[in-house]
Structure 1
Amino acid sequence: MSAFKYNRIDKNEAMLLVVDHQEGLFQLSRDHSPAEMKSNILAHAALGKIFGLPTILTSSAETGPNGPLPAEVIAMHANAPFIKRNGEVNAWDNADFRAAVEATGKKQVILAGITTDVCTAFLALSLVEAGYTVFANADASGTFDDKTAADANARMRAAGVQVLSLFAVACELMRDWRNTPGAPEMLPFFDTYLPEYGYLARAHDAAVKNGTPSGL
């Protein structure tokens, strides 16, 4: 029996995909509250900016009821490839999208989308088949209900996709608070996008200023 190998996200080998986080499709996400989903979508995109990850945006039929990607996401990645699909449900079926992914030269993929069971899962499975190591950000992927999300995540895990929380993705990218990006960049990130941890981050920052820091 072969020993287990912990395959961690490597910021130098990873790309980030924003998949169909569209303002119309946003309404289909019922397994997160609207406030949580909006925050998690923006946080997912922000990770690409903070860690300098090659980032690719894609949308599906955005001139219809699916709507556009949030303006905040587009502004974060104004120079990123933005593939506007007109018919392909699975982004991997779009030749321009595949070419953009291949052009990064990276073999690890961090992705999230709406819906979890279609936009995220179909692409994740195709990427695994194509030889990529895939990490699905479960907090920034949303769908109709908890059961649908659980079934989709189980399907992805069975194929080798690592399904992680937003917090886990962020911490695995960082690895060490002393790294760059590290505490100076990530404490404000958590304060903005993960309030539960943000208050702890504020307490730590106050302790640093008072000269009495403790471990995070």
Structure 2
Amino acid sequence: MTKTAAEPIRDPKADHLLTPENCVVVLIDYQPEQYSTITSSTVEEIDLNVLALAKFARMYGVPTIISTVGVDLGVNEGTKQSILDELPGIPEIDRTGVNAWEDDEFRAAVEASGRKKVVIAGLWTEVCMTFPTLDMLAEGYEVYPVADAVGGISPASHERAFERVIAAGARPITAISFGSELMRNWAREDSDNLRTVMGWYFPERERLGFGHRAKEGNA
């Protein structure tokens, strides 16, 4: 039997999986000062995946919130320009505290989205991702940290942070799994969104040498 038609779409708001209609993306503290202290991953790998995440959010119309820390205080620079370029028109919510959930403006933005599934990425893993994740979980949100788009000041910091949030109920994903979960079926009209991002992602991944390293590791 030839199959060329998509299966029926499940209720996109009630679906237990992520859909463009039931989640919100939050990006926290992708600032030069944060990048400069990451050692659990490389800047290139984090950028590859946070840009893929931003592309998927934009192309599938997922509400996105961007937050920074210390810009108004004059101690930090804003969000990396390449990320802002993928999400034109989205304002940055600056904070003084390290836990974004304790900032009234940030919290109000998440609540205003009307979404209870929060896809989160932030630098560092152990602070800017972990603290709001724990708070949101405690308040009944489903939280999905994007594991390959974050980084900590050490591998131990990154790994222990994920252990902590998973124990509290977080559901880690990756950038490409996020896009695949939004798309869901190759016969849908919007499947070209995933094809487009993958057409950029895998050549870029190969150019950066990540594919080569993976092949060596499997040799």
Calculate the TM-score normalised by the size of structure 2: 0.80
2:170 is aligned with 1:161:
yes
CA distance 1:180–1:126, shift in 2 (3 Å): farther
Calculate the TM-score normalised by the size of structure 1: 0.81
8 Å Cα contact 1:190/1:198 also seen in 2: no
Aligned-partner Cα distance in 2 for 1:31–1:191: 27
8 Å Cα contact 1:191/1:198 also seen in 2: no
8 Å Cα contact 1:24/1:68 also seen in 2: no
Unaligned regions of 5+ residues in structure 2, if any?
Answer: 1-14, 208-219
Say which of 34, 44, 50 aligns to 1:41.
Answer: 50
Partner of 1:101: 110
CA distance 1:31–1:118, shift in 2 (3 Å): same
2:93 is aligned with 1:83:
yes
Aligned-partner Cα distance in 2 for 1:47–1:32: 22
Partner of 1:129: 138
Partner of 1:189: 197
Secondary structure of residue in 1 paired with 2:79? coil
Deviates more, 1:41-50 or 1:148-157: 41-50
Aligned-pair CA distance for 1:81: 4.1
2:127 is aligned with 1:118:
yes
1:137-179 deviation line (CA, Å, top 9, x unaligned): 0111111222211110010101110011222222112111222
Length, aligned pairs only:
192
Partner of 1:26: 35
Aligned-pair CA distance for 1:119: 0.3
Partner of 2:212: none
Aligned-partner Cα distance in 2 for 1:66–1:194: 32
Secondary structure of residue in 2 paired with 1:164? coil
Aligned-pair CA distance for 1:42: 1.5
Aligned-pair CA distance for 1:60: 0.4
Aligned-partner Cα distance in 1 for 2:189–2:97: 38
2:78 is aligned with 1:68:
yes
1:166-206 deviation line (CA, Å, top 9, x unaligned): 22222112111222431x2212212222448889xxxxxxx
8 Å Cα contact 1:190/1:197 also seen in 2: no
1:34-57 deviation line (CA, Å, top 9, x unaligned): 221221222222221011001111
Partner of 2:4: none
Deviates more, 1:75-84 or 1:98-107: 75-84
The list of structure 1 runs, each at least 4 consecutive aligned residues, that deviate by more than 4 angstroms after superposition, is: 196-199
Secondary structure of residue in 1 paired with 2:36? helix
CA distance 1:13–1:88, shift in 2 (3 Å): same
Aligned-pair CA distance for 1:105: 0.8
Partner of 2:7: none
Partner of 1:210: none
CA distance 1:96–1:145, shift in 2 (3 Å): same
Aligned-partner Cα distance in 2 for 1:100–1:136: 18
Aligned-partner Cα distance in 1 for 2:42–2:206: 19
Unaligned regions of 5+ residues in structure 1, if any?
Answer: 1-5, 200-216
Q: Structure 2 counterpart of 1:103, which letter?
A: A
